[in-house]
Amino acid sequence: MRKLTIQKDKILLLFPDGVGIRNYLYSDVFQGVEKDLVLFHAFDAPAAVAVQNITKIEEAFSIPNYKESVKEKFFRELICLARLKHNAKLVDNPIILSNWKTEHKTVKNKLFYKTIAFYVKAITQYTQISKLEKKYQKAIRGNSFFKEITVLLNQIQPTQIFCSHQRGVQCATVFAAAKDLGIKTSTVIYSWDNLPKARMALQADQYLVWSQYMKEELNLYYPEIEEKQIFITGTPQFECYQQAEKIIPKEVFYKRYDLDINKKIICFSGDDVKTSPNDSQYLEDLASELMKSGLAAEYQILLRRCPVDVSGRFEPVVAKYQELIKQAPPLWNFKANSSWTTIYPLPEDVSLLVSTAYYSDVVVNVGSTMAFDFAMFQKPCIYINYDQQNKVNSNWSVKTIYQLQHFRSMPNRECVIWWNKREEISKLLKSGTFSPAMDQWKSAILAEYDNASNKINKIITACTSVS
Output the CA angle 267-269-270, nearest 5 degrees.
Answer: 150
The band of 340, judged by pLDDT with boundaries at 50, 70 and 90, is low
Q: How far apart are CA 351 and CA 245, in angstroms?
A: 8
Report percent pLDDT > 70 for the chain. 96
* End residue of a domain, out of 94, 116, 136: 136
3 in a structural domain: no
Residues 408 and 348 in one domain: yes
Q: Where are the beta strands (DSSP E) in 200-271?
A: 206-209, 230-232, 264-269
Q: What confidence score (pLDDT) does residue 466 get?
A: 37
In the prediction, which pLDDT does 1 show? Answer: 63
Statement to judge: residues 268 and 411 lie in one domain: yes
| pLDDT reported for residue 4 | 63
How many domains in the chain? 3
Contact 459, 186 (CB under 8 A): yes
Cα angle, residue 149 at apex, residues 148 and 152 outer, rounded to 5°: 90
Nearest to 33 by CA among 126, 144, 158, 153: 158
Mean pLDDT, rounded, for 364-384: 98
Pairing of strands 59-62, 160-163: unpaired
43 and 173 inside one domain: yes
β-pairing, 264-269 vs 299-304, is: parallel
Distance between CA 221 and CA 181 in Å, rounded? 28
Rounded mean pLDDT of 334-356?
A: 86
Paired residues of 382 in beta bridges: 364, 417
- Give the residue numbers spanning the domain of 362: 240-446
Same-domain status, 93 and 125:
yes
Nearest alpha carbon to residue 32 among 324, 453, 465, 382: 453
Cβ partners under 8 Å of residue 182, min gap 6: 3, 4
In a domain, 50, yes or no: yes
In this predicted model, which residue has the larger pLDDT, 381 or 309? 381
- For residue 238, give the nearest of 391, 447, 463, 411 by alpha carbon: 447
Q: Are residues 61 and 162 in the same domain?
A: yes
pLDDT of 334 reads 80
Q: Residue 46 to residues 50, 230, 290: CA-CA distances in angstroms?
A: 6, 36, 44
Q: Is residue 171 part of a domain?
A: yes
Residues 163 and 249 in one domain: no
- Domain identity same for 427 and 389: yes
β-strand partners of 304: 269
Is the pLDDT confidence value at 121 over 80?
yes
Burial class (CB within 10 angstroms; exposed 0-12, middle 13-18, buried 19+) of 409: middle
Do 426 and 293 sit in the same domain of this protein?
yes
| Domain-embedded: residue 5 | no
Amino acid residing at 251? E
pTM flag (> 0.75)? yes
CATH assignment at residue 401? 3.40.50.2000
Calculate the CA dihedral of residues 331, 335, 338, 342 and round it to 10 degrees: -40
Residues 248 and 200 in one domain: no
How crowded is residue 98: how many other Cβ atoms within 10 Å of its Cβ?
19
Integer angstrom CA distances of residue 309 from 45, 239, 273, 328, 337: 23, 25, 7, 13, 11
Average pLDDT, integer, range 28-32:
93
236 close to 29: Cβ distance less than 8 angstroms: yes
pLDDT band at 2 (very low <50, low <70, confident <90, very high): low
In this structure, the answer to whether residues 295 and 378 fall within a common structural domain is yes
Q: SS3 string of 78-117?
A: HHHHHHHHHHHHHCCCHHHHHHCCCCCCCHHHHHHHHHHH
pLDDT tens digits, one per residue of 168-198 = 999 999 999 999 999 999 999 999 999 999 9
| Tens digits of residue pLDDT in 218-238 | 999 999 999 999 999 999 999
In a domain, 2, yes or no: no
Look at residues 96, 114, 136 and tell me which one is the last residue of a structural domain: 136
395 & 315 share domain: yes
Residue 4 lies in a domain: no
In Å, how far from its chain's centre is CA 45?
Answer: 24
SS3 at position 143 = coil
- The whole-number pLDDT of residue 467 equals 31
If we measure between CA atoms, which residue out of 352, 366, 290 comes closest to residue 323?
Answer: 290
| Co-location of 318 and 279 in the same domain | yes
Q: What angle do CA 253, 251, 245 make, to 5 degrees?
A: 65
- Does some domain include residue 345? yes
44-48, 53-57, 251-255, 316-320: which has the minimum mean pLDDT? 44-48
User: 115, 136, 157 — which closes off a domain?
Assistant: 136
